[in-house]
Amino acid sequence: MALWDEELSHVLKTYSLLSSSLTGGQLYKDTPPIRALALGQGKILAGTKHGEIVEIDRSGPIKLLVQVGHMTSHMFVGTPINNY
């Protein structure tokens, strides 16, 4: 994952989303596809395709906040299928 400057002319910092680079927890798979990003107060929140949410401090440390989320094609028990 890369953090770019405002003009998107050069990369300010890169982050490796690997289980070995986390301060706690383990990713479903290393280098997961990113589905959502939020930036604010010196931190980046990233949501992965596998339902994890990681908090990335701009200085480098990466913490896994949510390990078991909802992945593509998951269905909730008790939810009528015709609502999809």
Q: Is 29 a member of any domain? A: yes
Distant-in-sequence contacts of 6-15, Cβ < 8 A, 24+ apart: 13/58, 13/60, 15/44, 15/56, 15/60, 15/62
Q: What is the pLDDT of residue 7?
A: 95
Q: What is the pLDDT of residue 67?
A: 73
Query: What is the per-residue pLDDT across 64-81, written as a single tens digit (0 to 9) for each?
Result: 888 765 555 555 444 444
Q: Is 84 a member of any domain? A: no
Query: What is the per-residue pLDDT across 45-70, written as a single tens digit (0 to 9) for each?
Result: 999 988 899 999 988 788 988 876 55
Q: What is the pLDDT of residue 9?
A: 97
Q: Is 17 a member of any domain? A: yes
In this structure, what are the phi and psi dihedrals at residue 13, rounded to the nearest 5 degrees?
A: -160, 150
List Cα–Cα distances, 22 to 19, 57, 63, 77, in angstroms.
5, 11, 5, 32
Average pLDDT, the chain: 81
Q: Which domain holds residue 52?
A: 2-72
- Domain count of the chain? 1
Q: Is 47 a member of any domain? A: yes
28-38 average pLDDT score: 90
